Structure 1
Amino acid sequence: MCGRFTQVKSRDDYLEFLLEEAESSIPYDPEPIGRFNVAPGTKVLLLNNREDSLHLDPVIWSYAPGWWDKAPLINARVETAATSRMFKPLWNHGRAIVFADGWYEWKKEGDKKQPYYIYRKDRKPLFFAAIGKQPFDVGDEAEGFLIVTAAADHGLVDIHDRRPLVFSPAAALEWMDPETTGAQASELAHDAAVPADEFTWHPVTRAVGNVKNQSPELIEPISNPAA
């Protein structure tokens, strides 16, 4: 993880759960985003704090600096991102948040892989920790952003051994704050992540495997996952 997720609600719905008095340059937009199958390599609304104000920018979900000669990366492991040569500058100066409702994971069942949709039991929005190349409103498209992942625990490990690092609203705001140091961000990642027991999941159609499919039916539970 994380390889696919949903960003369905309107930007206003997500922001309502996140902030009340924070300065924001984000225009009002009640229109649902309606993305039921967000895939790597596409532009995603990325929330970030610059010049003492919150901004939403469409940023490509992948990261490949000019010297990187392999496939673009989409995730950064929380265990190593803060200290690695590649990710440390992003961890210190390019922290951001991705809005989501849930994410997909595939589990091998027999000779097939069955997708599952994972979300909060209370259906509240998710705030994925992300890192990327600032400034997000300009620059090289190839140097976009990555979603930070952590080891799965409790029941989630039965679906996949990794999961996105999900923050509470207060922790998400602190994560994005430019005054938060890299060391403090590491403490947040360790202490302020939403725990695994607040999530639930159900099997969904394998149609989610095709990035062209974007219908609401993708997140509906199915009754015969082994079929």
Structure 2
Amino acid sequence: MCGRFTQIQSRDDYLAFLIEEAESDIPYDPEPIGRYNVAPGTKVLLLNNRDDSLHLDPVVWSYAPGWWDKAPLINARVETASTSRMFKPLWNHGRAIVFADGWYEWKREGDKKQPYYIYRKDRKPLFFAAIGKQPFDARDEAEGFLIITAAADKGLVDIHDRRPLVFTPEAALEWMNPETAAAQASELAHDAAVPADEMIWHRVTQAVGNVKNQWPELIEPMSDMK
């Protein structure tokens, strides 16, 4: 699953890796976002394509339609999201991208759960596949967005059996394109994800478990921490 991640760099750093030129209404902003502990239930910058232009909107990371009588959801499984009654409309018409630098997972080690920070070996940005309720710039806040997850593979499965679906820049743009059919989106989800062998991870401090903590030290390897 994906229950916590980072959005550290500036929006321009993420966009520069995504595409050199794109029609968008996104104003220049060189300031780092600086979120080292993004938690569910908070507003997150969500990249989406509408009206032939890229947009960044602050959208709540959770989804609970009016008829849903359980806790809000934060993830949707790639294996079923395109066909389920709950998620199919979002898959068809509400595909988006979440910028990230890495994500956290917890692994049971002895009598405690040890947090790990997972990121690309080359430290390039991650583009998480997401789905949500359109329009993203005006909505019921209970109906925000979910991050798509896939089965973990290779070494990542030793940390957790699920992982966020991470796209290459090219696949991220095609995923968001309103002209991309639902079946094409499913092909992307299965064929265009960044593979696990491009990821690396290390243990981090237990302090990441407190959503109020937002320090740069949260992502440092434990061996480097004082």
Report the TM-score, using the length of structure 2 for normalisation. Answer: 0.98
1:66-77 counterparts in 2 under 5 A? 66-77=66-77
Opposite residue 177 of structure 2, the aligned amino acid is D
Opposite residue 39 of structure 2, the aligned amino acid is A
The match for 1:107 is 107
The match for 1:39 is 39
From the superposition, tell whether residues 82 and 206 of structure 1 become closer, same or farther in structure 2 (CA, over 3 Å).
same
1:119-176 CA deviation, whole Å, 9 max, x = no partner? 0000000000000000000010000000000000000000000000000000000000
Which ranges of 4 or more aligned residues in structure 1 deviate by more than 6 Å?
A: none
Opposite residue 181 of structure 1, the aligned amino acid is A
1:175-226 CA deviation, whole Å, 9 max, x = no partner? 000000000000000000000000000000000000000000000000299x
Following superposition, the deviation at residue 22 of structure 1 comes to 1.6
SS of corresponding position for 1:175: helix
The match for 2:188 is 188
Give the unaligned 5+ runs of structure 2. Answer: none
SS of corresponding position for 2:26: coil
SS of corresponding position for 1:13: helix
SS of corresponding position for 2:172: helix
1:33-90 CA deviation, whole Å, 9 max, x = no partner? 0000000000000000000000000000000000000000000000000000000000
The match for 1:63 is 63
Report the TM-score, using the length of structure 1 for normalisation. Answer: 0.98
Opposite residue 119 of structure 2, the aligned amino acid is Y
The match for 1:208 is 208
Partners in 2 of 1:49 and 1:95 — Cα distance?
9
Opposite residue 184 of structure 2, the aligned amino acid is Q
The match for 1:2 is 2
The match for 2:52 is 52
Residues paired across the two proteins, number: 225
Following superposition, the deviation at residue 21 of structure 1 comes to 2.0
Partners in 2 of 1:91 and 1:117 — Cα distance?
28
The match for 1:94 is 94
1:85 and 2:85 are equivalent in the alignment? yes
Q: What is the alpha-carbon root mean square deviation over aligned residues?
A: 1.0
Matched-pair identity in %:
88
From the superposition, tell whether residues 210 and 148 of structure 1 become closer, same or farther in structure 2 (CA, over 3 Å).
same
The match for 2:116 is 116
Partners in 2 of 1:89 and 1:29 — Cα distance?
33
1:161 and 2:161 are equivalent in the alignment? yes
1:129 and 2:166 are equivalent in the alignment? no
